[in-house]
Structure 1
């Protein structure tokens, strides 16, 4: 039976996800993906211009959700920023933990690719929101460790059911984040 183009495209994305998770983005070639799908490398290139385009499409839903979360944080300060950032990032990490596992260990290098360059700025804003936009070292350190820990935990515990993982992460975030009073962004910068 002949596959349709959407089926082939979906199979290529699924194979890329498996290969990237098993051997990393750098360790996977387009030929590896083609072999797993049972098609030619030319077929993969018909659907995706290159390996970066394949990764970009694979990560597009997660990046869209991250951008939406970043937009929702605009204007929030203090505890409101912390709670919104924590709950939103946990939802994102739980939902896209397989994609996070794919990037495990290669994230800094992937941020250098043009399609992902803006992720670094969003990550910095997310860290600031988790710190409640506080300049206090303890708040900033907790925010950074929490971001990294949520990502790593979701990548490590891919098989833990969402309804168990999400509450555990929310409880952890509640314990890790120092409560920061709500302030206007200008007040916060003056302190």
Structure 2
């Protein structure tokens, strides 16, 4: 028997994360989330204005950490900015790999939504810092591939302990990027 209203706000978030992980953000409807929770769509809408609001709340800690990384990078130049960007992005990918995995393959479309538009600007600054050589196309290509590759695959490493995943990713990033002189 379905309950009239979910017990908690978090129950909806948990169900949404599960559904997004299974069928993707686009492939999940509010009705799917409601069904998973065992309530009506209206009950979900009582807690959240729309599906984007659910995603925004799910991603808020990761987005806050990304903003903080952007501020740390802005305080540096050259090799220091590249090091802060590389270590900071790897730390984010390790810490938030489950959240990032929810959006696999859907980043470009989601970045078009108003709630996530600022992430595109942060991503561009992150690529610039990782590349270290804005005048060299190969450096920019390497930075883009590193960001995209880690973002698209980090969900595959859910079972890898943080203390193994972080050094493996950092080694990969260091091999891929041109050092800044």
Q: CA deviation at 1:80?
A: 0.7
- How far apart are 1:50 and its partner, in Å? 0.5
2:131: which partner in 1? 131
Residue 84 (1) aligns with residue 80 (2)? no
Q: Can you give the 5+ residue segments of structure 1 that lack an aligned partner in the other structure? A: 182-191
Partner of 1:172: 172
User: Per the alignment, in what secondary structure is the counterpart of residue 27 of structure 2?
Assistant: coil
* TM-score, normalising length: structure 1: 0.88
2:14 maps to 14
Alignment of 1:20-169 (within 5 A): 20-169=20-169
Runs of 4+ in 1 over 3 A off after TM superposition: none
Are 1:134 and 1:180, in contact at CA under 8 Å, matched by a contact in 2?
Answer: no
**Alignment length (residue pairs):** 178
What is the rounded CA distance, in whole Å, between the counterparts of 1:114 and 1:53 in structure 2? 11
Measure the CA separation in 1 of the matches of 2:12 and 2:144: 34
Q: Could you tell me how far apart the structure 2 residues matched to 1:7 and 1:73 are?
A: 41
Hey, what's the Cα distance between the residues in 2 that align with 1:176 and 1:6? 47
1:55-80: per-residue Cα shift (whole Å, max 9, x none)?
Answer: 11011100000000001111422211
Contact 1:15–1:36 (CA<8 Å) still a contact in 2? yes
User: Matches of 2:81 and 2:34 in 1, distance apart?
Assistant: 44
Deviations 1:75-117 (A, max 9, x none): 4222111110010001111111111111001111111110001
Distance in 1 of aligned mates of 2:28 and 2:6: 22
Q: 1:73 touches 1:129 (CA, 8 Å); kept in 2?
A: yes
Q: Helix, strand or coil for the counterpart of 2:163?
A: helix
RMSD: 1.6
Query: Please, what TM-score do these two structures have when normalized by structure 2?
Result: 0.93
1:184 corresponds to which residue? none
| Inter-partner Cα distance in structure 2 for 1:6 and 1:147 | 37
CA distance in 2, matches of 1:47, 1:144: 37
